[in-house]
């Protein structure tokens, strides 16, 4: 997480004392359309008492955000996306299943006055992840896989590069706490720690 969020946080700190750019006022709202990569942490935990280390792969999908400004530079954002799909593997066994999920996230975000056409921001909020369309293969072929839905905290950092009077290109990154209990044929096997970095780009339009 630090390798991606640190440069964005640094840009935020540097821009906090600079001249205004792409400023948002109370009552404004923005629409963002882009694409993001959900990249689970390299250590997804282990099932069956720690004997089955997990490996969950990444996926890219289109995303959309809506943000309403409660005060000048302070906005409430909702993130939505098309369903992400991830293969689930057990180290030494191979791919044993897959799942889809939707990770709607609500964040409170502060947009700093930036330098020229650059405006950084920081945010924090809460995520709800709904898992569905679980499937099995390989060593788990023919069994029923279930992943419980998850609630967790989320952190957000990014930079807007102003394009025209109302538009901006956004580069951003999130860390989301996603932990899900895993069941096979109704038997609990443990918890998968997905905890992904979600990063990408979007075009943001201010209204």
Structural domains in the chain? 2-206 (2.40.160.20)
| pTM for the full predicted model | 0.83
What is the rounded average pLDDT of the residues 123-144? 96
Residue 19 has pLDDT above 60, yes or no: no
- For residue range 178-199, list pLDDT tens digits in order: 999 999 999 998 999 999 999 9
Using alpha carbons, select from 159, 201, 172 the residue that is nearest to residue 21.
159
Residues 6, 101, 29, 205: is their CA dihedral positive or negative?
positive
Residue 168 has pLDDT above 80, yes or no: yes
User: Lowest-confidence range among 38-52, 76-90, 138-152?
Assistant: 38-52
Residue 6 has pLDDT above 70, yes or no: no
Q: Which element (helix H / strand E) includes 197?
A: strand 197-206
3-state SS of 109-122 is EEECCCECCEEEEE
């Amino acid at each position: 997480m630090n390798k991606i969020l640190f440069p964005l946080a640094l840009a935020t700190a540097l821009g906090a004392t600079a001249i205004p750019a792409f400023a948002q006022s109370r009552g404004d709202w923005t629409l963002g359309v882009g694409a993001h990569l959900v990249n689970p942490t390299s250590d997804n935990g282990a099932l069956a008492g720690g004997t089955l280390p997990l490996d969950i792969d990444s996926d890219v999908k289109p995303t959309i955000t809506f943000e309403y400004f409660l005060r000048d530079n302070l906005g409430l954002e909702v993130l939505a996306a098309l369903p992400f799909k991830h293969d689930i593997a057990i180290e030494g066994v191979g791919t044993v299943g897959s799942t889809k999920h939707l990770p709607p996230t609500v964040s409170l975000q502060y947009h700093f006055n930036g330098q020229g056409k650059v405006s950084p921001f920081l945010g924090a909020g809460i995520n709800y992840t709904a898992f569905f369309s679980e499937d099995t293969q390989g060593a788990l072929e023919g069994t029923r896989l279930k992943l419980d839905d998850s609630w967790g905290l989320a952190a957000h950092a990014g930079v807007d590069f102003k394009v025209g009077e109302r538009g901006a290109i956004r580069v951003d990154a999130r860390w989301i706490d996603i932990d899900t209990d895993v069941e096979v044929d109704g038997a609990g096997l443990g918890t998968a720690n997905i905890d992904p970095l979600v990063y990408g780009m979007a075009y943001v339009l201010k209204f």
